[in-house]
Amino acid sequence: MYAEVLPAGLLRGQVVTCRGPAAYSIGLGLVARAVAVGSWLAMVDLDQFSPEALVEFDIPLHRVVGVSAGDDLANVLSAVFDGFDAVMIPASRYRGALARRIAQRIRAKGVALVVIDDNSEIRVDDTASLGDIELAGTDIRWEGIGWGAGRLLARYLTVTSTGRRSPRPLQSEMQLPPENDVYGEWSHDDQTNGVVDELIDRSPDSEELRWRLRVV
């Protein structure tokens, strides 16, 4: 699903910013595969986040931990980076001096950081310049709901990725939350997926694989 916008997958040491009214879903879809195969996800200061969404993205609840950082965010984040492969944080908490300070640690620890920016107003270059890749959801289309009829059924949207190192934006049409067995079809046809289990923790010898935490 994300293969078209993130050809290399979600990499360790990378900061991905998700924007737009579907920012949370884009972020969840991004980490879903990694958590499903054994990585741990920390959700820092996302107090209003409803765990039910995790279930819809097939993310196992027992590998997710919510952290309320309080004032000492820098220290808390460094503890989080020690133990978690994937970390989600709202853009309001990840900005400015702090972001610059922990950028080095993110790379050193090999954490994939997903920054959620669902408030389109605070569109400052501050956070944009700090993320390696930006995923923005546009053209959101809800299916199943009409004018006083039906109900929300499925959401289709166009996700555009822009990044410091990618020459031109990549686009992909996707459904979020995914259909129930959307990941099933990926498990056998993609060679790299077979080794996802290993590359997350159980094969210290293949150094290169350890650094990749591909999602799709």
Partner 1 sequence: MAASGGVSSSVPRVLTLWCPEWPAYVVPPVQEPLIVLDQHRVIAACPRARHAGVRTGDRRRTALRACPNATVVPRDYSAEVQAFERVVSAVAEIIPLVELLEPGSLCLDMRGPTRYFGGERFVVDHVRSVVENQLGAEVPIGIGIADGRAASAIAARRSGAVHRPVIVEPGRTAAAFTTMSLRWLHAIGEMSIELVELLDRLGIRAVGDLAALNERDVLTRFGLPGVRAYRVATGADEQPLSSVAPSQLPERERRFEEPVLSVTPVVFSARELAAELVQELAMEGLVCTRITVAAETEHSERTERHWYRSEGFTAAAMIDRVRWQLDAWINESSAVSAGVIVLRISVTAVRPDDGVQQGFWGGASEADGRAARAVARLVTLCGPEGVRVPMPIGGRLPEDRYGWVSTTVVDTDHHVEALAPWPGSVVRPAPVIVPTDEIMVEVLNDRGESVGVSGRGEMTSDPVCVVIGGQSCRVVAWAGPWPLIERWWDDRRRRRLARLQVVLEDGSAHLLAVERQRWHLMGTHS
Q: Which residues bind partner 1 (CB under 8 A)?
A: 20-25, 28, 38-40, 42, 47-56, 60-70, 72, 75-76, 79-80, 82-85, 118, 120, 138-142, 145-152, 154-155, 157, 177, 200-202
Looking at beta carbons only, is 52 or 189 nearer to partner 1? 52
* Category of 67 on φ-ψ map: left (φ > 0), alpha (ψ -120 to 50) or beta: beta
Instruction: Closer to partner 1 by CB, 166 or 210: give it.
Output: 210
Taking the complex as a whole, the smallest distance from the CB of residue 164 to partner 1 amounts, in Å, to 26
177 vs 154: CA distance, rounded Å: 7
Q: Which is nearer to partner 1, 20 or 131 (CB)?
A: 20
Taken in order 201, 205, 211, 215, the sign of the CA dihedral is negative
Taking the least distance from each CB to partner 1, the nearer of 48 and 191 is 48
Query: Nearest distance from residue 7's CB to partner 1, in Å?
Result: 25
Nearest to residue 93, comparing CAs of 163, 50, 43?
43
- Give me the amino acid identity at 6: L
Nearest distance from C-beta of residue 146 to partner 1, angstroms: 6
CA 54 to chain centre: 12
If the CB atoms of residues 106 and 200 are measured against partner 1, the closer one turns out to be 200
> What DSSP character marks residue 212?
B
Give the Cα separation of 190 and 213 in Å (integer). Answer: 14
To the nearest whole angstrom, how small is the minimum distance from the Cβ of residue 139 to partner 1?
A: 8
Contact 159, 167 (CB under 8 A): no
| Min separation Cβ 165 and partner 1, Å | 28
Tokens of 32: 């879903």
